[in-house]
Amino acid sequence: MRVVDTSAWIEWLTGSALGARIGKAFPAREQCIVPTLVQLELAKWLARETDEDRTDQVIAYTQKCVVVPIDTSITLRAAELCREHKLATADAIVYATARECDADLLTCDAHFSKLPDVVYFRKSA
């Protein structure tokens, strides 16, 4: 199982060179965990960068994945991860979701790069 961070979704959806590399590590829908927070971040980005049809298509795709809502267990783990790794709240929720689901995290955000069970793709300078 694999949680895909918003940063990786965006690279994949834009078809960037990095997105093409990420695409090879992108899980099949039944193995792809989508935190509801990632759905929110994607919906915001899509509404700003694309049209309503594209937004609807991508969110519909995420709904066919394993959608995990924020619950108390994830919230408490995220609070611990904020303190332990100095993560921002949203990042801690995404990482906590991966930990709660015994999954790894696919991302291209550098602040996750040294954390356990992270598949990190570095953005070019």
User: What digits encode the pLDDT tens for the residues 55-68?
Assistant: 999 999 999 999 99
In sequence order, what are the beta bridge partners of 2?
Answer: 32, 104
Length of the chain in terms of residues written = 125
Q: What is this structure's pTM? A: 0.94
Round to whole Å and give the CA distance between 89 and 119: 20
Q: For 70-121, how does the pLDDT look when each residue is reduced to its tens digit (9 = 90+)?
A: 999 999 999 999 999 999 999 999 999 999 999 999 999 999 999 999 999 9
- Could you tell me which of 46, 48, 5, 47 has the C-alpha nearest to residue 27? 5
